[in-house]
Amino acid sequence: MSDRFPPGFLWGAATSAYQIEGATAEDGRTPSIWDTFSHTPGRTADGDTGDLAVDHYHRMREDVALMAELGITSYRFSVSWSRVQPTGRGPAVQLGLDFYRRLVDELLDHNITPALTLYHWDLPQELEDAGGWPARDTAFRFAEYATLVGAALGDRVERWTTLNEPWCSAFLGYASGVHAPGRTEPAASLSAAHHLNLAHGLATSALRSAMPARNQIAVSLNSAVVRPRSQDPADLEAVRRIDDLANGVFHGPMLHGAYPARLFADTASLTDWSFVRDGDLGAIHQPLDALGLNYYTTSLVSAAAPEPGAPRADGHGASTHSPWPGADSVAFHQPPGERTAMGWTIDASGLYDLLLRYTKEVPGLPLLVTENGAACDDKPGPDGSVHDPDRIRYLYDHLATVRRAMEAGADVRGYYLWSLMDNFEWSYGYGKRFGAVYVDYETLARTPKSSARWYAELARTGELPAV
């Protein structure tokens, strides 16, 4: 197998607005659900918030210059909805749009391709107060927001993503409650999933109307790689049930125009799905130019009920409420192998399986790895440098797997490292470091780690450096 990637392959890095921007009350921005959630006692580690984050709002030019130094050829960022449209309704705030205009101009000046994500979990609080994602109207508000951003930036941004990981928005936000807005309502989480799907479809149509035809639209899914603990038929059925909840509930309508056949029966005790209205599936099933896939680890399940009181080993935080509505009989197990600082098992083969799965499911649709990376216990050495050989090995193994999948027929066009820099890691606060760039949270000084230099060499040559 060749370790060389084709010319034009995108060497990217990714972030999200609430995790890095700070400036949460500047230039007209109003609270999002993550502002409210992080300011609620007990919701985040050490009570951490994104109020300052890593102050990217004021250090944007410095950060773009650092990307250029590291050879990043594409930067995937998200727009803060409540910075652009503070109440989730009405006209855009130009000061908010101006920040993203400056960012895009700075990226283009450094020959870095901007890749814009419209939604990375930060719903305006006023829309949550009106019902949030379980409310149908939120999907229509999102389409209006998409139109505002598309009209403002569509002339210079050619790569667009509607939603990032809608599974997390729906099921961690409304079922298990470990993410904002912290609700634990299984039926509402399924309604949220449908309205996120509808929002994606409506926004895709809105963007196509508001932007030049050359622009490319994608969605980023954190599709799970679900494996059985045994080949027992009951364990295989557990895989099917979780696969429908993790994957099919989104890629079914988005890519195929239908929900999985057995999903409605699996969740019939929770909802009759009457929130799915005539015409919705057609509105959701819009042609896409690429599919973004976020991958970190695999899931291991069985049909056996877990021991009473045992923690749920699904890697999605601690909660007595499950993010898997209608799947209480399924047990999750920690896959064997080495783990990252998040406790997630390292298994690059899952990324291969994921890329080949979608190559078969949607032949002809280009793929992007829109997130992949590892949290490590990074610390500066006596000379101030930060060496992270575990992350380098992780990246090497996963990128070698991407290359192997490409040789097996997967049309992968780019890879986005998560994350460009250490940042606010949601409910984990600042305790987990995913960045290729180390951030001193006292001074906010940025220091490229060894992995950043390794990745820069890869971006420069297109060939995997030795580890």
Examine the residue annotation and report whether 62 is marked as an active-site residue of this protein.
Answer: no
- Of 141, 125, 26, residue with least CA distance to 83: 26
* Whole-angstrom distance, CA of residue 275 vs CA of residue 135: 9
* Whole-angstrom distance, CA of residue 154 vs CA of residue 201: 18
* Whole-angstrom distance, CA of residue 169 vs CA of residue 20: 19
* CB 276 within 8 Å of CB 264: no
Active-site option among 165, 237, 338, 407: 165
For 177, 353, 362, the CA distances from 9, given in Å and listed in that order, are: 38, 21, 21
- At residue 28's C-alpha, the angle toward residues 25 and 29, to 5°, is 50
Q: Which single residue is written with the structure tokens 């999605």?
A: 316
Examine the residue annotation and report whether 371 is marked as an active-site residue of this protein.
Answer: yes
- Of 255, 253, 274, residue with least CA distance to 198: 253
- B/e letters for 95-129, b = 16+ CB within 10 Å, e = fewer, are ebbebbeebbebbeeeebbbbbbbbbbbbbbbbbe
Q: How many residues does the chain have?
A: 467
What is the dihedral angle through the alpha carbons of 417, 200, 88, 81, rounded to the nearest 10 degrees?
10
Active-site option among 371, 425, 442, 463: 371
Point out the residues that are catalytic.
165, 371
